[in-house]
Amino acid sequence: MSAPLLRLEGVHTHIGAYHILHGVDLDVAQGELTVLLGRNGAGKTTTLRTIMGLWQASQGSIRFDGEDIGACRTPEIAQHGIAYVPENMGIFADLTVCENMLLAARGARRAQDIDERRLTWIFGLFPALQKFWQHPAGLLSGGQKQMLAVARAIVEPRKLLLVDEPSKGLAPAIIQNMIAAFRELKQTDTTILLVEQNFHFARQLGDRVAVMDDGRIVHSGAMAELAEDEDLQQRLLGLSLAAHQ
């Protein structure tokens, strides 16, 4: 097996006086969708933010695509080819949908410069974005904002997407739409690290799964394995899929 695209080894992160990550070891393989599960406060978001350089790891190494990015600043990490969809979506509310997309397309100076074929593909995934292209993004509904957030991350080809809870607060129908979009994304051989609380959502998309608790990875393996093993689910997540459905 070739080296993983992203490898975290013994990563510790402190936020102020609080020690959040206690030695995270995590591999994300090229072309796969890895789901990071765990209860609230387990350190999932902190892991993503640490990869992104928004928190600085105090210890451990983060290697991406053969390079150590642990000491890089956020903009450099983004330029290495990592896109980030934060939990709060990070939509620029005063800017239009088009302007939001333009900023995400680093290579484009004007809206016309955005790769047309890619844009058509994105509009296929999220038709609402085309419809509200010139509207202020702040006026979009929660689901549409989430679509815009994901669309921004893929407006140019990126090597790795970090997505934090894309299903949070969305209506079931929109979640279905989101799942469809991620399936389509997987077809394009994009590598994704997805943080989720919603196991139902995660199970349908994940190739691999890692479960966090108390700032550590406590389990990692194939998603299929976890999906079938109810005892393991009970032990790791305190729930069983059967009960959840």
Partner 1 sequence: MNSATAGSPVMDALPSVNADRLPLLLVPVLALVALPLMGSLSTWVTLTVAGLAMGMIIFIIASGLTLVFGLMDVLNFGHGVFIALGAYLAMSVLGTMTGWTASEHLLLNLLAALPAMLVAMIVAGGVGLAFERVIIRPVYGQHLKQIMITMGGMIVGEELIKVIWGAQTIPLPLPAAFRGALLLGDAAVEKYRLIAVVIGLAVFAAMFWVLSRTKVGLLIRAGVQDREMVESLGYRIRRLFVGVFVAGSALAGLGGVMWGLYQQNLTPQMGSQVNVLIFIVIIIGGLGSVGGCFIGALLVGLLANYTGFLVPKVALFSNILLMVIVLLWRPQGIYPVAKR
Q: Which is nearer to partner 1, 104 or 237 (CB)?
A: 104
CB of 162 to partner 1, least distance (A): 9
Which residue blocks in the chain are alpha helix, DSSP H?
44-51, 74-79, 97-104, 116-125, 127-131, 142-154, 172-187, 199-205, 223-228, 230-237, 241-244
CB of 135 to partner 1, least distance (A): 6
CB 159 within 8 Å of CB 191: yes
Q: Which is nearer to partner 1, 88 or 234 (CB)?
A: 88
Q: Which residues bind partner 1 (CB under 8 A)?
A: 52, 54, 73-75, 78-79, 83-84, 86, 88, 90, 92-95, 99, 102-104, 106, 109-110, 126-128, 131-132, 135-136, 138-144, 147, 152, 171, 173-174, 176-177
Q: Which is nearer to partner 1, 21 or 178 (CB)?
A: 178
- Cα separations (Å) of 226 from 32, 35, 38, 162, 191? 16, 12, 13, 22, 20
- Return the sign of the alpha-carbon dihedral for residues 55, 56, 62, 65: positive
CB of 226 to partner 1, least distance (A): 29
CB of 193 to partner 1, least distance (A): 14
Q: What is the DSSP letter of 112?
A: G
For the sheet with 216-222, list strands across it.
82-85, 160-164, 191-195, 33-38, 208-213, 216-222
Distance CA 19, CA 92 (A): 31
Q: Which is nearer to partner 1, 3 or 71 (CB)?
A: 71
Phi, psi of 13 (to 5 degrees): -135, 135
Q: Which is nearer to partner 1, 82 or 226 (CB)?
A: 82
- Cα separations (Å) of 77 from 80, 138, 157, 161? 5, 27, 15, 12
CB of 38 to partner 1, least distance (A): 22
Query: What is the β-pairing status of strands 18-28 and 6-15?
Result: antiparallel
Q: Which is nearer to partner 1, 181 or 210 (CB)?
A: 181
CB of 172 to partner 1, least distance (A): 8
